[in-house]
Structure 1
Amino acid sequence: MSQLIISEVFGPTIQGEGALVGKPTVFVRSGGCDYRCSWCDTLYAVEKKYKNEWHTLSTEEVWSQIQALSPTPILITLSGGNPALQDFAKLIEIGHKAGYTFAMETQGSLSKPWFKQIDYLTLSPKPPSSGMETKWDAFEKSVSLAKSPEAISIKLVVADDIDFKWAHEVQQRYPQFDYYLQPCNLQADEVTLEQGLQSTRELIDQVVAVGWHQATVLPQLHNILWGNQRGV
């Protein structure tokens, strides 16, 4: 069994973002990331200074934790950090045999052959406000490795007008996918319900103003319900 670096395994809860928002899921959050986004709200799964909180587990040990949380089939969401740094092929194989389905969110900076096993692949390239630059050839490699075009959705975070213009350009570059937009949680430790709702209203106004009627605008549902509490 392959070894996996895991920040946390928790649930069942609901997916709070993107195409599967509201769907019951167990999260497997990997440790480590090749990005350092300026507004990252999960630094505990990204920065090496938190490595003492991470666990090196066998695939079998991760699977045992999932089954302890949900002994009946459920959606398993691979998150991070960047889960593409890990080798989840065997975990997905075991889960599929037991009737579980898998979703993953990644920025598309790295691609792995096991992407073909993912039932729902959310690609989330990072906007200019993140301080990161998307390498579109790497992103397109991730697209090419998906199980099918229908398995892909694009989730874009929008923090300001520059991000919104960038997001609209991404949609025009890759019009074949469904797009999910969400406001950026700029102050991850201080976000309030009203701030989140106001940011969502402003994003809706932008989408309507430019006639981007194919986009889906969603708040971070988990932040509305629980703030930035971990493990939910």
Structure 2
Amino acid sequence: MSICSEISLLHVPHWNSAYSVFNDDDDKDSVLLFPELLFSPLSKSLVIKTSVSCDVVSVGEYKVKASLSSTLQNIFDKYGDITSNSKLHSLSTRIYHLETLAEVVIELQSTPLRRLSETRAIEILAIVNDIETAKIRVGWLRSVLEEVLEATRYFDRREMAVMEKKACEHGLMLAKQEMEVSLKKLAEKEKEMNEFREKLMETTGKLGSLEMKRTYLDKRFVFLRSKVEKFQDQSIFNDIL
């Protein structure tokens, strides 16, 4: 059986230095973690106990949970020994912080932004800030988390904007379809109007021709009437004798 660190959370008042915490006889091996962590948003202290039965793997000088070793090794490979300037003297305490950091990284890698709430992002950022107070170099993660937190705040607005955009595009499509129908009807009406104009012009031309003919006939009628009217109903020889 191997020995690993087991972390328990106990509510305690804010202290200015580290103390031993003994709640009962079973807690005599418990040691309060770095006191700066007492000022976390959760207002809880972290207590380390020794227990048995936990698979551990060595990552550098640290024996950590096997499930976290790969992630922690990747962190060390990319950023070096992030605990080199740490104020924590207890190896178990540093291991706890490193395991917590690895768990945070795994959670972030496996959680889509749409499933990460703003509240959870704030909690994770608080955890990272607490780790950073122990002079463990996690600034690279904190800067990313600050961007993630901002993204969670705007995610719902983005989703709303996406829905509004889809509704707008749907309305635009319907409007285009309606316009196409209207333009088709307009083209048909314009065709009818052109045919009507042609017929109207034809009728107007015919009307003009008929009016000219009527004028000619009126003049001719007047002329002819003048020639025969005085002899109408009279003998043409009355004025001779």
Instruction: Tell me the TM-score normalised to structure 1 length.
Output: 0.25
Select the structure of larger CA radius of gyration: 2
Instruction: Tell me the TM-score normalised to structure 2 length.
Output: 0.24
Q: Which structure's relative contact order is higher, taking Cα pairs within 8 Å and 6+ residues apart?
A: 1
